[in-house]
Amino acid sequence: MTSARKLAKAEGKDWNKLSVKEKNKLESQAKVKEIVKKHNLSGDKKKTQREEAIAHHPRTTGNGPTRNTLMLEAKKRGIKYFRVMNREELEKVLTPGIPQDLILNVGQQAKERWQKGWKKKKEGEKK
């Protein structure tokens, strides 16, 4: 028994008494169901391990401020080299009660990291 005939039987219809138009409709519905089943397009698709990791990562869930808002806050507070700091450094620098010498130290480290990357590019261009 074909899947179109099974659909007709499930709907309580006699295949032999159906018109050609109704038979074609049932056959196309059966083909769609086969394709969905074959390619696992049913909508209840399991997420891959990578998709699960991305979905639960703190940056993708929207928790905490963005790097841009952290940079604006650092600019308001007058912190140097905030443009070359990464998000973690900005969060560390903007925590309340942090000593000024630690803020300067993080800023200097960010500056040195940025300058090292720039010097490597300049040396590569000369050669």
pLDDT digits (tens, 9 = 90+) for 37-47: 777 666 556 66
Length of the chain equals 127
Q: Across residues 24-47, what is the average pLDDT?
A: 75
| Counted domains in the chain | 2
Q: In this structure, are residues 106 and 89 in contact, taking their beta carbons and an 8 Å threshold?
A: yes
Q: What is the pLDDT of residue 108?
A: 92
Q: Classify residue 95 by its DSSP letter.
A: S
State the average pLDDT over residues 56-74: 75
Within-domain flag for 60: no
70 and 109: one domain?
yes
When mean pLDDT is compared across 41-45, 75-79, 90-94, 109-113, the lowest value belongs to: 41-45
Q: What is the mean pLDDT of residues 64-68?
A: 81
61 in a structural domain: no
Mean pLDDT of 91-113: 90
Residue 60 has pLDDT above 60, yes or no: no
Better-predicted residue by pLDDT, 7 or 97: 97
How confident is the prediction for the chain on average, in pLDDT?
80
Same domain, 72 and 29: no
**Contact by Cβ (8 Å): 70, 91:** yes
Question: What is the mean predicted confidence (pLDDT) over 91-109?
Answer: 89
Distance CA 29, CA 60 (A): 39
Show the domain range for 12.
Answer: 3-38
Asked, for residue 52, whether it belongs to a domain, the answer is no
Same domain, 28 and 77: no
Q: Residues 82-96: pLDDT tens digits?
A: 888 988 889 889 888
Residue 94: burial class (beta carbons within 10 Å; 0-12, 13-18, 19+): buried
**Mean pLDDT across the stretch 3-31?**
84
